[in-house]
Amino acid sequence: MEQKQNSGIYVFNTVIGSIAILWDNINGEEKIIGIRLKTKMSSCNGYDIPAFVVKLSDLIKQSLKGKEVRFPLNKLNIEPFTDFQKKVLLHQTTIKRGSITTYGQIAKTIGHSGASRAVGNTLAMNPFPIIIPCHRTIRANGDLGGFRYGKTMKRKLLEMEGIRFNFRGKVLFNTTMDVS
C-alpha cells in the first residue's frame, strides 16, 4: 500500500537532463521548496507523488520543448523572501519565453532604480529555475551574468528560446527585450 508523505523529491528526465522538484508541508499545505537542474538526486520511492508535482513536471517538460506555458505560482514557497525579493521573483515570471531583460531594468520596473546588484543577488538564489525564469535576465552590456547552473546552461536555455549571441558570446540586442 502506498503511503502519503508531506515532503519529498520527484526526479524526472528532460531535454536538459534530470530535474528534481522538492516539496514540503509548509503551515499545513504542500508547497514547492525548490527545483534542481542537472540533479543526481533520487526520487522518494514508495510514496504517492502529489498530483500538482506531477503536473508541474509536465509543464516544465513542455516549456523545455518550446511551448509557452503558464506555471502556477500559488504552490511555490516564497514566504522566506523579503518583500523586495518577492517583487523581483514575481516580476521575473512576467518575462516571456524568447525575451530578455536586464538586472537594471527589473530594478527600475519594480521601483528600485539603482538596485541592479540586489536584483542579481536575488535571482542568484532563485530556488525555482525554469518556473521563475531567471536565465532570461542578463547584464546591460549583453553579457550573460551569473546562473547557479553555470553560464553554459544559461546560454543553452536562452538559445532554446531563440535568443541569439554574437561571436563574443554576448546577447544580440535585436532579440526581444522586455521593458515592462
Whose cell is 513536471? That residue is: 57
7 contact partners, CB below 8 Å, separation of at least 6: 22, 23, 24, 25
Q: Between helices 83-92 and 116-124, what is the axis angle to 10°?
A: 80
Distances, alpha carbon 165 to alpha carbons 96, 100, 105, 138, 177, in Å: 18, 12, 20, 12, 14
44 is annotated as an active-site residue: no
**Which one from 9, 134, 138, 157 is the annotated catalytic residue?**
134
Cβ–Cβ < 8 Å for 13, 128: no
Catalytically active residues are 134
